[in-house]
Chain A
Amino acid sequence: NAGVTQTPKFRILKIGQSMTLQCAQDMNHNYMYWYRQDPGMGLKLIYYSVGAGITDKGEVPNGYNVSRSTTEDFPLRLELAAPSQTSVYFCASSREPNYEQYFGPGTRLTVT
């Protein structure tokens, strides 16, 4: 089992560019999540999904989009990158009944 994988590990974007952060899990988890972690702060939920084809907004969804066409993949799309989106992004997955979240290694994104 690879668990939760994220690509890329690092990325530098110019203001206004777009990109997709990839996330995949091989544990057959129905729940998947995207978080951002700013320095010295906790995790803020961006979007989450309770199954293929079902997504919902979290606490900080503005500037991001997601899709979930398969159980395994949950990509996060940044449109028109802004400096405020400089952060570390974590993808996670979980399943009933324990709801323990398994995290990927993160993507460090810098927007300049």
Chain B
Amino acid sequence: AQSVTQLDSQVPVFEEAPVELRCNYSSSVSVYLFWYVQYPNQGLQLLLKYLSGSTLVKGINGFEAEFNKSQTSFHLRKPSVHISDTAEYFCAVSEKTNAGKSTFGDGTTLTVKP
């Protein structure tokens, strides 16, 4: 069994400030890790993913995340946010041996204020 915990349900920040959205996961086997973004009244779209290799992964819109196996974390960061980054962000995990089955966190609402 696997689980995902997003540690902050809401994160308010000012425009051009840095932001970190935290994600911890639990799994007894090796996993793939993902961050998705959901804009209002839309489906989810992929921001970035970790499958293997370098633990620092870069995604779209200037986001990056670092996989930390010892701490079982996959935190999402952006050095300078824009108003347009206001959205819901979801962390997800899939077991490598059963990648057809994904578990999502409850989401973090990022609100960027002017």
Contacts and interface: CB of A to CB of B under 8 A. Distances in A.
Interface of A: 4, 31, 33, 35, 40-45, 48-50, 56, 58-59, 90, 92, 96-101, 103-106
Main secondary structure of the interface of B (DSSP, over half): strand
Interface string B74-114: 00000000000000001010100001111111110000000
Contact of A45 (B32, B103, B107): B103
Interface residues of B, number: 24
Interface of B: 4, 6, 32, 34, 36, 42-46, 49, 51, 90, 92, 94, 99-107
B43 A42 contact: no
Q: Which 5 A-B pairs rank lowest in CB-CB distance, beginning with the nearest?
A: A103-B43, A42-B106, A42-B104, A43-B104, A103-B44
Given A40-B107, A99-B94, A100-B34, 9 more contacts: A33-B102, A42-B6, A42-B107, A45-B103, A48-B101, A50-B100, A56-B101, A92-B44, A106-B42
